[in-house]
Amino acid sequence: MTNARVAGVGLTHFGNHPERTSRDLFAEAGLAALDDASVDPADVEAVHYGNFMGELSEHQGHQGPLAAESLGVHAPATRYESACASSGVALRQAVRDVRNGEADVLVVGGAERMNNLDTARTTEALAIAADELYEVRAGMTFPGAYALMANAYFEQFGGTREDLAHIAVKNHENAVGNDHAQYQSEITVEEAMDSPPVASPLHLYDACPITDGASAVVLVSEDYAERNDLDASIAITGTGQGGDMMALQDRENVATSPAATDAADEAYADAGVTAGDVDVAEVHDCFTIAEVLATESLGFFETGEGVAAARDGVTTREGDLPVNLSGGLKAKGHPVGATGTSQVAELTRVLRGDHHNSEYVPDARVGVAHNAGGTVASAVVHVLEVQE
């Protein structure tokens, strides 16, 4: 079996770009990835593209072919939708295509346009990642769903709003120097605590922003990389996916994310690594509580101990296990369909040594990306490793 190698990565600026179409955002990220890889668009055999809410924000479905043509690629193109894990599942399929010998060169990525809607309409669009009949019609919002998880977590395991604020502060600190990040500025615990409530116990600074942006990764087989003398030293050695009941009310315990645990276990076994081997991680912190659930599911901390680890600085860039050196969804931003592959793009740079925070993990060899959809009814985990 051949490993899939990351030959190149590309990102747009993540931020407030209401006038930019998703096809143009993806063109920028995809062309940057092809240039980074030194791969000719004519060699691309398939495009796998993630997008969540194009029908609602742009009145545009069937975006796969648009994504391919925006890069000048003439190849089959498919759009994947798993809410906020859309490009994560697209990447998983691309990895499998390389491994199965189906393709030697693929572009995989995603794009999302969100800020052309007002906040209420965006909130409405995001809510469709939850159960329409039994959650959305009861008035549940996406922040509301994570607030229910946070409240249950505090009740079962302890923790406070102030503990969660440390996660937001850390991720803002990590985003300083990231040219692609929406917020390249630091915040304080006090500012986070004083921000307005969105869905108690979560306040504005617990939540990722509404973001326009795109990301792309060029995946190649080892054979293609060798034949074309590509610099593709990062391999995706593990992939895993997990699932859970859609509605929180049908879950065994709303204070945990077992779908991500399953995805992590599968990805670790696939790569032949353990949680203890991981040097650095990019996780899906759409809300501060989500980073806690992610680090527990990834096996970095025991269930119920993630919030204390965050408060104690274990996951800061100077800590034992740096998490979200990019700034995470909180500060880098969260253009939903682009997030999964943006995490892999950031991790690739960290491991290659050309990331703005690479200096904090000079010896890192194993990275993990954790991408979740909805309230983690979908989860995808990928393991990246430096290859000699």
Position 140 contacts another protein (CB under 8 A): yes
* CA dihedral of residues 94, 114, 19, 63 (deg, nearest 10): 30
Position 249 contacts another protein (CB under 8 A): yes
Specify whether 84 is catalytic: yes
Spatial neighbors of 202 by CB under 8 A, at least 6 apart, are 143, 146, 147, 150, 164, 287, 288, 289
Query: Which of the ranges 138-146, 212-220, 234-242, 307-315 carries the binding residues for another protein, by CB under 8 A?
Result: 138-146
Of 62, 138, 320, 353, the one binding another protein by CB under 8 A: 138
The catalytically annotated residue of 172, 180, 334, 355 is: 334
Residue placing its CB nearer to another protein in the complex, 44 or 147: 147
Specify whether 334 is catalytic: yes
CB 96 within 8 A of CB 388: no
Query: Which of the ranges 37-45, 80-88, 133-141, 224-232 carries the binding residues for another protein, by CB under 8 A?
Result: 133-141
Of 189, 245, 308, 386, the one binding another protein by CB under 8 A: 245
DSSP letters, 337-373, are: GGHHHHHHHHHHHHHHT-STTGGG-TT--EEEEEEEE
Of 59, 120, 359, 362, the one binding another protein by CB under 8 A: 120
DSSP letters, 115-137, are: TTS-HHHHHHHHHTTS-TTTTGG
Of 76, 158, 197, 353, the one binding another protein by CB under 8 A: 197
Question: In the complex, what is the shortest distance from the CB of residue 294 to another protein, in angstroms, rounded to a whole number?
Answer: 19
Question: In the complex, what is the shortest distance from the CB of residue 151 to another protein, in angstroms, rounded to a whole number?
Answer: 5
Please state the φ and ψ torsions of residue 215, each to the nearest 5 degrees.
-145, 155
Residue placing its CB nearer to another protein in the complex, 54 or 143: 143
How many Å apart are CA 35 and CA 29, to the nearest integer?
Answer: 10
Residue placing its CB nearer to another protein in the complex, 118 or 354: 118
Position 127 contacts another protein (CB under 8 A): yes
Question: In the complex, what is the shortest distance from the CB of residue 146 to another protein, in angstroms, rounded to a whole number?
Answer: 9
User: Which two structure tokens, joined as six digits, stand for 342?
Assistant: 């943006």
Position 192 contacts another protein (CB under 8 A): no
- For the segment 142-171, give every residue that binds another protein (CB under 8 A): 143-144, 147-152, 155
CA distances from 176 to 131, 164, 319, 355 (A): 36, 20, 17, 12
The size of the interface with another protein (CB under 8 A), counted in residues, is: 37
DSSP letters, 25-93, are: HHHHHHHHHHHHHT--GGG--EEEEE-SSHHHHTS---HHHHHHHHTT--S-EEEE-BTBTHHHHHHHH
Instruction: Tell me whether strands 280-282 and 46-50 are parallel, antiparallel or unpaired.
Output: unpaired
Of 223, 250, 302, 320, the one binding another protein by CB under 8 A: 250
Of 62, 74, 121, 227, the one binding another protein by CB under 8 A: 121
Nearest to 110 by CA among 23, 239, 240: 23
Question: In the complex, what is the shortest distance from the CB of residue 140 to another protein, in angstroms, rounded to a whole number?
Answer: 6
Of 103, 232, 235, 248, the one binding another protein by CB under 8 A: 248
CB atoms under 10 Å from CB of 96, counted, come to 13
Position 115 contacts another protein (CB under 8 A): no
Query: Which of the ranges 117-125, 226-234, 258-266, 350-358 carries the binding residues for another protein, by CB under 8 A?
Result: 117-125
CB 235 within 8 A of CB 244: no
Of 200, 226, 274, 313, the one binding another protein by CB under 8 A: 200
Give the length of the chain.
Answer: 388
How many Å apart are CA 172 and CA 206, to the nearest integer?
Answer: 11
Residue placing its CB nearer to another protein in the complex, 182 or 375: 375
Helix axes 86-99, 339-352, angle to 10 degrees: 60
Position 59 contacts another protein (CB under 8 A): no
Position 56 contacts another protein (CB under 8 A): no
* CA dihedral of residues 387, 314, 261, 189 (deg, nearest 10): -120
The catalytically annotated residue of 13, 17, 84, 166 is: 84
Residues near another protein (CB under 8 A): 119-121, 123-124, 127, 133-141, 143-144, 147-152, 155, 196-202, 245, 247-250, 254
Which residues form the catalytic set?
84, 334
